[in-house]
Amino acid sequence: MPQPAPVSVAEVPTLKVTLDCGPCVVKPAIPSLIASGYNESAAKAGRKVSKEKEARLIVKEYVAREDASRFLAGAFAGKDEIKAVISYQGKTYAVEDYYRNAWLGIDTLAKKIGEMAYAELK
């Protein structure tokens, strides 16, 4: 009886996150949260993250509210915002989003940016 051909799992590139937002002060966990959102999206879709291929996500703009002001003032405290550019195989993709409510902060937004990066690279 012939053996079935092995099923190959489609791969997506590893996402390397770097910062290039001038004087912005980025919370240390943000790059890993972006990568985590990307990796989790790939895993949910059954895709493997390649060790041989690499895409770069460069954070260009970053604004984060303090947690206390976000809870107390909500939308009046301003917004959390991340704007980034992804480079892969000679192409660039812009990903950006913001939260202005009291419940979701910069950590959740960072994971969402990772999910958006996956959507562009899948």
All structural domains of the chain, each given as residue ranges with its CATH number in brackets, are 12-121 (3.30.160)
User: What confidence score (pLDDT) does residue 16 get?
Assistant: 98
Cα(89)–Cα(104) distance, rounded to whole angstroms?
Answer: 33
User: What confidence score (pLDDT) does residue 1 get?
Assistant: 60
In DSSP terms, 49 is beta-bridged to 12
User: What confidence score (pLDDT) does residue 79 get?
Assistant: 83
Residue 84 tokens read as 């980034």
Q: Are 102 and 71 in contact (CB under 8 A)?
A: yes
Is the Cα torsion angle 70, 74, 79, 80 positive or negative in sign? positive
User: What confidence score (pLDDT) does residue 68 get?
Assistant: 54
φ, ψ of residue 13 to 5 degrees: the values are -70, 155
Q: Classify strands 80-88 and 91-99 as parallel, antiparallel or unpaired.
A: antiparallel
User: pTM of this prediction?
Assistant: 0.86
pLDDT per residue rounded down to tens, the chain (122 residues): 666 555 456 899 999 999 999 999 999 999 999 999 999 999 999 999 999 999 999 999 999 877 655 445 554 556 889 999 999 999 999 999 998 776 678 999 999 999 999 999 99
User: What confidence score (pLDDT) does residue 57 get?
Assistant: 98
User: What confidence score (pLDDT) does residue 65 get?
Assistant: 77
Query: What DSSP designation does 100 have?
Result: -
